[in-house]
Amino acid sequence: MPKPLWAPWRLEYVQHADELGRCIFCEPEPELLVHDGELALLVLNKFPYSSGHLLVAPKRHLGEFGALSPDEALEIHRLAARGIEALQSHYAPDGFNVGWNLGRAAGAGIEDHVHMHVVPRWNGDTSFMPVLGDVKVLPEALERTAERLRLRF
């Protein structure tokens, strides 16, 4: 039976994501931007499920998955593959969760700009801190992770 990936600290973010006042994909934080492609970009998730959690999104502000052009979809998937290679090279995770959260009910914190998640996973990482103290332990600052991953692009 698969083990669940719990991230209880994200609830506050998901409940208030619409209040950010800007789209994190249309105006990405420079320190979290890993790669700025032609049609898509790759950023670190500021509220990650695990260290190195990447988000891949079209540059065009789209709320519907089906509105992606074939070229946008291709670049998003190519960037996800490159992100996996970079994470594998620098952090050697044991696996990855890769996918789309489409709609609030599916866990999308930002519904009006579709994006793909690339979440590295490690065997034995039980993440007991969120359960015990509503705390997530990330062993490296997001800015340092972004710097390391940029080297692969």
- The answer to whether the CB of 83 falls within 8 A of the CB of 149 is yes
Question: What is the chain's length?
Answer: 153
Reply yes or no on whether 115 is catalytic: yes
Beta-strand ranges (E) seen in 91-130 are 95-100, 116-121
Partnered with residue 118 across adjacent β-strands are: 54, 98
Q: Hey, what's the torsion of the CAs at 80, 82, 86, 88, to 10 degrees?
A: 70
Is the CB of residue 61 less than 8 Å from the CB of residue 23? yes
- Using alpha carbons, list the distances in angstroms from residue 55 to 3, 9, 14, 98: 22, 18, 15, 10
Q: Which of these is catalytic: 35, 113, 115, 117?
A: 115
Q: Catalytic residues, which ones? A: 115
